[in-house]
Amino acid sequence: MIWWLKTRLVHTVLACGVAAFGLLTFLFQDGTVVLPAISVTAGNTVLLAGFTPLLVVGALVQSLDSRLTTAEVTGTRPVAWLDTGLVVVTMITVAALTAVGGFLLDSPAVVAAGRNSLFLTGLALCARGWTGRSSIVFPTAWIFLVVLVGHRTADDFFPWAVTGLALGSSTAAVAAGASLLLGISLNHHMTTRQGSRP
């Protein structure tokens, strides 16, 4: 177990990623920035906390990507299950962290950042079985997509731009759950089938 935790950089990269995410999200809270956009001409206001979930996703992708290939293919350890467990535990940690933080700071944007972390992690995990560490490109591209063409008007998002939607939106909540479930299942399936990826 300790061997596996060290290989996956849980105590270094993943812990630091989640900590940095928490710190920045709590710092930004409901702070916004005005950015250029394609879909609206002016006043494209975006939550700063919309960007921080990528730290969790990035750290998780790097963590899952850090392997001891030869030792892991021997099959003496249930590596796929351990990986899935790692993802689940990280997601529970992030959700709990943002739920508590959002409650204490009275900031819905913090809780939404936790929800978005689930969605974006799911997005990356869906692709990870095929693209390996390049899967981080998909959540990053998604964030840019929402910033540039996600706005219908200056303060309203299209329904597909789920990471931009407010905390109360059921579409966004369902999308986050579905994305994470699909991502975890696909990632688990691909890890068992292929063993470790190069």
Partner 1 sequence: MRISTLIRSSTALPALVPALGLTLSFYVFSTHDQVAYWPYPYAPTLVQRSIEQVYALSYALVSAAAAWQGARFKESRVRESAPYRREWTVVALALSPVVAVGWLILLVPVALAFSERPTWPTPVSLPPLLLGMALCAAHGVIGFVVGQRLKPALAVPVMACGVFLLVSYPHAMEPFYLRHMSGEYFAHLGFAETATAASMVAQLLPTLSLAVAASLTLTRGHALLRSGLGLVVCVGAVLISHSIVKDWNYNPSVNVNAVRTTCTGTAPEVCLPVNAGKDAKAISDEVHRTFAVLEKYQVVDSPPKRVEEALDYGRFTPDNTKDTGYLLLSTAQQENRVNAEVIGTYVKFPCEMPQPTLRRAVLLWLEQKTGTMPGYERIAAGDPFYTPAQHQETLKAVDEVSAKSATEQVSWYKKISRSACEGSS
What SS3 class is residue 167? coil
Candidates 7, 140, 169, 196; binder of partner 1 (CB under 8 A) is 140
**Binding residue for partner 1, selected from 47, 49, 55, 79, defined by CB under 8 A:** 55
154: contact with partner 1 by CB under 8 A: no
Part of the chain binding partner 1 (CB under 8 A), chosen from 34-42, 81-89, 92-100, 171-179: 34-42
Binders of partner 1 among 76-135, rule CB under 8 A? 133-134
CA atoms of 66 and 123, how far apart (whole Å): 19
Scanning 72-80, 144-152, 163-171, 184-192 for contacts with partner 1 by CB under 8 A, the matching segment is 144-152
Least separation, in Å, of the C-beta of 174 and partner 1? 25
Which residue's CB is nearer to partner 1, number 38 or number 166?
38
DSSP 91-130: HHHHHHHHHHHHHHHT-HHHHHHHHHHHHHHHHHHHHHHH
33 binding partner 1? (CB under 8 A): yes
Site for partner 1 in 8-27 (CB under 8 A): 13, 17
Here the tokens at position 73 are 């293919």
Q: Decide whether 50 or 102 has the Cβ nearer to partner 1.
A: 50
Interior CA angle at 95 toward 91 and 97, to 5°?
115
User: For residues 33, 161, 126 and 96, what is the CA-based torsion angle, rounded to 10 degrees?
Assistant: 60
Chain-centre distance of CA 116, in angstroms?
7
